[in-house]
Amino acid sequence: MKYRMLTKEEREIFNEDFKHFMISNGVTNEEWLEMNEKNPQKATELVELFSDVVLEKVYQKIEYIEFRSEDSCLVFHCTPDALNLISIVPKSGKKVNLSTPELIHTALQNNLFDLDIFKSKKPYSTLRELEIHKMIEQGCLNSSKEFWDALVELIGE
């Protein structure tokens, strides 16, 4: 398996897509029901393959992700070739909470001089989608172009 198996809730969202996936793989509904009963390992393998297909498409569409905690906000622009990063962290000895969008906004408006903000870029160390998957598994969430652009404007690039 390349990524992970979709959760039951995620599979319900993609139920129609799963039906089309099964049809395109030559599996009828009756065969699927029989497979679940008589060969659950093969059924699981098909769900794993479907999960990988879905997640691959999702990760290909992701452009911006971010990681927030009390002491850091990391925003990534996932280009085809590299990860661009804008990092916001409190300066040494300063206590600034960056765990929510509201607190980040407040910190950028009222505590800008208490923050270290920098930008960097690195090529992917593996396939783009695998790296995005790993980052999401580590707690990154979808972000927006608007947030990225506002940070770029703030740091003057």
Tens digits of residue pLDDT in 141-157: 999 999 999 899 888 76
Angle at 111 between CA 105 and CA 116, to 5 degrees: 95
pLDDT band at 110 (very low <50, low <70, confident <90, very high): confident
Domain map of the chain by residue range?
A: 8-61, 64-155
Residue 53 has pLDDT above 90, yes or no: yes
Q: Sheet of 64-69: strands edge to edge?
A: 115-123, 82-90, 72-78, 64-69, 141-142
Strand partners, 142: 65
Strands, E assignment, 59-129: 64-69, 72-78, 82-90, 115-123
pTM over 0.95? The answer is no
Amino acid at 60: Q
- CA-based nearest residue to 58, from 144, 146, 142, 148: 142
Using only the alpha carbons of the chain, give its radius of gyration: 21
* Closest-CA residue to 115 (of 87, 89, 141, 77): 89
pLDDT in tens, 19-44: 999 999 899 989 999 999 999 999 99
pLDDT for position 81: 95
Give buried/exposed letters for 76-85 (b at 16+ CB in 10 A, else e). Answer: bbbeeeebbe
* DSSP code at position 27: -
CA dihedral 5→136→139→149, nearest 10 degrees, is -150
pLDDT of residue 111: 83
Query: In the numeric block, which tokens belong to residue 17?
Result: 């897509």
pLDDT at 157: 63
Mean pLDDT of 116-123: 94
